[in-house]
Amino acid sequence: MKRIFALCLTVLLLGTLLTGCGSKPAASPTGPLKVGVTAGPHEQIMEKVKELAKAQGLDIELVVFSDYVQPNVLLFEKQLDVNSYQHQPYLDKFNKDQKMDLISIATTVNFPMGVYSNKIKSLSDLKSGDKISLPNDPTNGARSLILLQSAGIIKLKEGSGLASTVKDIAENPLNLQFIELEAPMVARSLPDVTAAAINTNFAIEAGLNPVKDSIFIEPKDSPWVNVIAVRPDGSKDDPRVQQLVKVYQSDAIKQFIEEKFDGSVVAGF
């Protein structure tokens, strides 16, 4: 009887120990937080975040890209911890097309898209057959077409919305030609086209001021607010990621954005 009692007690104690081991929280991740950004304002803002985070004990390593694809691919492949460069519609479309499952965990900034030109002062100066360049990725391409529709120079098919492509142009009274390019290349096409629909980060990188130099611009409350993205593997619970979000969405960063970009980049938090 004593042997049975002792055996039961041993099993009970072992079970308690195993339960205790199983419930032990995972060790906090260590080392620098690897953050992917695109060149321009995203990089500049994150450099300031890096500076402020450093004072709080968080090391951030920035990886700067010149395209919209690699930051998501490398995040998915675990070569980055976080990225900050895209709006939600782009992320949704990218996930669908690439069969990925990246998630957004915080909002950052809004970059009003604008139309720029070296040749005309107003969209009313457009002539028949003029060329307009725009981004060729699905979400920013649709965004540029919606912008041109709001300017009254084209009309899209009803219901095309955020999935609009040049094939959805229902009315084009001036028979404008639309040149689709990689987003970073659109600003560089200005000498060769009449006008270009350029994402603000690339406009700034090209030395353009969205407030002063655009001939037509989105309202500041447009829905294309940018986000911080991570993998759906618990990354959002990484203390370093949570600290990054806290620093980014601080009053200090909001003030930096307002002073640095003079209204061409708007805090979305």
Answer whether 0.75 is exceeded by the pTM.
no
Q: Is 123 among the domain residues?
A: yes
Letter for the amino acid at 235?
A: S
Domain boundary among 194, 217, 240: 217
Q: Is 20 among the domain residues?
A: no
Question: What CA–CA distance (Å, rounded) separates 112 from 106?
Answer: 19
Q: Is 94 among the domain residues?
A: yes
Given the structure tokens 């990354």, which residue do they identify? 235
Tell whether 46 and 167 lie within a shared domain.
no
How many C-beta atoms surround the C-beta of residue 148 within 10 A? 24
Burial class (CB in 10 A: 0-12, 13-18, 19+), 65: buried
Q: Is 13 among the domain residues?
A: no
Q: Is 2 among the domain residues?
A: no
Q: Is 10 among the domain residues?
A: no
Letter for the amino acid at 238?
A: D
Q: Which of 104, 223, 218 is nearest to 162 (CA)?
A: 223
Q: Is 101 among the domain residues?
A: yes
Q: How many domains does the chain have?
A: 2
Query: What SS3 state is found at 177?
Result: strand
For residue 188, give the CATH number of its domain. 3.40.190.10
Tell whether 158 and 200 lie within a shared domain.
yes
- For the record, the structure tokens of 31 come out as 């080392």
| 65-102: pLDDT as tens digits | 999 999 999 999 999 999 999 999 899 999 999 999 99
| 168-207: pLDDT as tens digits | 999 999 999 999 999 999 999 999 999 999 998 899 889 9
Tell whether 136 and 211 lie within a shared domain.
yes
pLDDT confidence bin for 27, thresholds 50/70/90: very low
Tell whether 153 and 197 lie within a shared domain.
yes
Domain hosting residue 108, numbered range: 33-112+223-267
